[in-house]
């Protein structure tokens, strides 16, 4: 997990200040992580808003969030609720039903809930698959047009490459420093 405080302590150190000019990829990683960290609240609010605005007009169910329920491979029930599971999938541009199915979850239903987490309506699968498809396509279309989500998707898509470049730079500097002694 990214520990910004630890990285900030390293970046404030005298040794790092000597290397800072030779490690632009590390600085790029820090900048990307700053964008992720500072934009997290705005992106979550946008994703919540998009889902809340779409449930009524598309599904005919006034609600603020959605959650999925299904059976795992061992037969137990699993619930995947909005802020923990669904919003991150929307932010990343992934269809939660498809992803959960790929994870071998037999998705039985999607609940639409209000702010108090009371269920206002349910889609049952596979019967309501077409309604769900229309709903998620509408949500995804709005997400693609949202500036906060668009920016976050771009940064998250580039993050693995930026991290790899930063790691290469750090390892190169470590090798250089060891060869001095």
pLDDT digits (tens, 9 = 90+) for 4-39: 666 666 666 655 665 666 678 888 888 888 888 888
Question: Does residue 81 sit in helix, strand or coil?
Answer: coil
Cα 17 to Cα 28: distance, rounded to the nearest angstrom = 15
pLDDT digits (tens, 9 = 90+) for 51-83: 999 999 999 999 999 999 999 989 899 999 878
User: What pLDDT does residue 102 have?
Assistant: 92
What confidence category does residue 2 fall into, taking pLDDT thresholds of 50, 70 and 90? Answer: low
Predicted local confidence at residue 128, as pLDDT: 95
Would you give the DSSP letter of residue 13? S
User: Residue 61: what are its φ and ψ, rounded to 5°?
Assistant: -125, 115
In whole angstroms, give the CA distance from residue 108 to residue 110: 7
- What tokens were used for 16? 């790092």
Number of domains in the chain: 1
Q: Which residues contact 108 (CB under 8 A, 6 or more apart)?
A: 69, 70, 71, 124, 125
- The confidence score (pLDDT) of residue 82 equals 78
Region of 13 please: left (phi>0), alpha (psi -120 to 50) or beta.
beta
pTM of the model: 0.81
Flag whether pLDDT at 181 surpasses 60: no
Full residue range of the structural domain in which residue 93 is found:
4-180
Return the pLDDT at 19.
61
């Amino acid at each position: 997990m990214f520990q910004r405080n630890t990285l900030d302590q390293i970046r404030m150190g005298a040794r790092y200040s000597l290397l800072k000019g030779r490690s632009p990829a590390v600085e790029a990683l820090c900048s990307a992580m700053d964008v992720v960290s500072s934009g997290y609240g705005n992106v979550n609010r946008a994703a919540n808003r998009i889902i809340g605005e779409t449930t009524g007009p598309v599904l005919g169910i006034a609600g603020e969030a959605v959650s999925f329920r299904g059976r795992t491979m061992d037969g137990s029930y699993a619930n995947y609720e909005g802020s923990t599971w669904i919003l991150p999938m929307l932010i990343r541009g992934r269809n939660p039903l498809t992803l959960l199915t790929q994870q071998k979850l037999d998705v039985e239903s999607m609940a639409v809930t209000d702010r108090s987490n009371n269920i206002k309506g349910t889609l049952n699968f596979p019967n309501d698959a077409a309604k769900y498809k229309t709903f998620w396509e509408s949500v995804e279309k709005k997400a693609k047009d949202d500036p906060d989500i668009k920016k976050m998707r771009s940064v998250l898509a580039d993050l693995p490459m930026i991290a790899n470049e930063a790691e290469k730079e750090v390892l190169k500097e470590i090798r250089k420093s060891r060869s001095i002694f």
